[in-house]
């Protein structure tokens, strides 16, 4: 974990709202807090070696794997978003997305899939997918790839800012990469959700699946849609399901036509707290 990552995740928002004296205190104590938290951060696990000693994990379902690797996609997890020195062992409720993932992906778990995960954070869900899709290659992108706690020959961890068209182009589209499964679990901001889907839908192979987690954030959280723009991605998807037209500043005519001509189905589900969308390609 780099110093800048530690500051951006745990302190930048506090500094913006702090008084002069509090800012001064934060900056004076920040180096010490960083070193203490870096020591407490989970060591990087080589999943290839770990798998040799835990072959039974390849037989587990996603409910088990999400909880085993502490992903909030499952039923229970330890709050991984706290600073390392504040982590506790008590379990809290997760999103309950595992049933929906199983419904769409159970029959494909033995295939050689190419998976793109946007918003990997510490890589806990990536580790679960590593064992569930034991023949697949996983590309995990995040704003802070130095937080990623896992390593494998089947996993590529890289930096990407999916709020920028240029990033999606240079890191994925221009390289002509193709995927069978894309999981968008990054910032959940209004613009990010829209451009990620409509720019990257073309990188899905036939029969591929695009997943958007926390689909409802821009509709229910002011900080995810500060300008109160519309339509949100949820509203766009509902319009498409109802065979109604839509217009978005962030979707080009070509992207819109391509999506409408190539999607097979759109389903939106409610987890424990938030909504998740599964979009199939023809």
Tell me: do 145 and 276 sit in the same domain: yes
Tell me: do 127 and 176 sit in the same domain: yes
Which pLDDT score is estimated for 80? 86
255: CATH: 3.40.50.150
Average pLDDT over residues 144-154: 97
Q: Which domain holds residue 12?
A: 3-40
What's the CA gap between 274 and 51, in Å, rounded?
32
Which pLDDT score is estimated for 127? 98
Helix/strand/coil for 226: coil
On the question of pLDDT at 189 being above 90, the answer is yes
On the question of pLDDT at 88 being above 90, the answer is no
Helix/strand/coil for 258: helix
Tell me: do 15 and 103 sit in the same domain: no
pLDDT digit string, tens, across residues 199-230: 999 999 999 999 999 999 999 999 999 999 99
Evaluate the CA torsion angle 195, 143, 134, 277 in order and state its sign.
Answer: negative
249-256 long-range contacts, Cβ below 8 Å, gap at least 24? 250/191, 250/194, 250/195, 250/198, 251/194, 251/198, 252/198, 255/198, 255/199, 255/201, 255/202, 256/198
- 165 and 199 in contact (C-beta within 8 Å)? yes
Tell me: do 147 and 89 sit in the same domain: yes
On the question of pLDDT at 179 being above 90, the answer is yes
Average pLDDT over residues 93-114: 96
- In this prediction, what percent of the chain has a pLDDT beyond 90? 92
On the question of pLDDT at 89 being above 90, the answer is no
Question: How many domains is the chain built from?
Answer: 2
On the question of pLDDT at 146 being above 90, the answer is yes
Which pLDDT score is estimated for 87? 85
Tell me: do 9 and 78 sit in the same domain: no
What's the CA gap between 49 and 152, in Å, rounded?
9
The alpha carbons of the chain give a radius of gyration, in whole angstroms, of 19
- 216 and 276 in contact (C-beta within 8 Å)? no
Average pLDDT over residues 242-258: 97
Which pLDDT score is estimated for 16? 87
Q: How does residue 3 score in pLDDT terms, banded at 50, 70 and 90?
A: very high
pLDDT digit string, tens, across residues 11-32: 998 898 899 898 898 999 999 9
């Amino acid at each position: 974990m780099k110093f800048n990552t530690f500051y951006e995740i745990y302190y930048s928002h506090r500094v913006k709202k702090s008084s002069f004296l509090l800012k001064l205190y934060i900056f004076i104590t920040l180096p010490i807090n960083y070193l203490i938290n870096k020591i407490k951060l989970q060591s990087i696990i080589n999943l290839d070696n770990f798998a040799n000693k835990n072959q039974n994990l390849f037989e587990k379902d996603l409910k088990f794997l999400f909880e085993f690797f502490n992903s909030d996609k499952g039923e229970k997890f330890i709050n991984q978003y706290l600073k390392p020195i504040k982590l506790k062992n008590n379990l809290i409720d997760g999103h309950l997305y595992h049933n929906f993932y199983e419904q769409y992906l159970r029959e494909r778990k033995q295939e050689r899939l190419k998976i793109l995960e946007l918003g990997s954070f510490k890589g806990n869900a990536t580790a679960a997918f590593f064992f569930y899709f034991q023949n697949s290659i996983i590309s995990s992108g995040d704003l802070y790839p130095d937080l990623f706690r896992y390593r494998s020959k089947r996993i590529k961890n890289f930096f990407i800012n999916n709020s920028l068209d240029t990033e999606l182009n240079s890191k994925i589209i221009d390289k002509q990469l193709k995927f069978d499964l894309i999981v968008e679990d990054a910032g959940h901001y209004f613009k990010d959700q829209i451009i990620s889907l409509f720019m990257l839908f073309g990188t899905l192979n036939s029969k591929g699946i695009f997943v958007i987690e926390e689909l409802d954030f821009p509709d229910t959280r002011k900080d995810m849609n500060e300008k109160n723009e519309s339509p949100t991605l949820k509203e766009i998807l509902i319009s498409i399901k109802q065979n109604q037209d839509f217009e978005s500043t962030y979707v080009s005519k070509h992207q819109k036509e391509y999506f409408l001509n190539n999607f097979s189905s759109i389903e939106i589900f409610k987890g424990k707290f938030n909504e998740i969308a599964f979009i199939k390609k023809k």
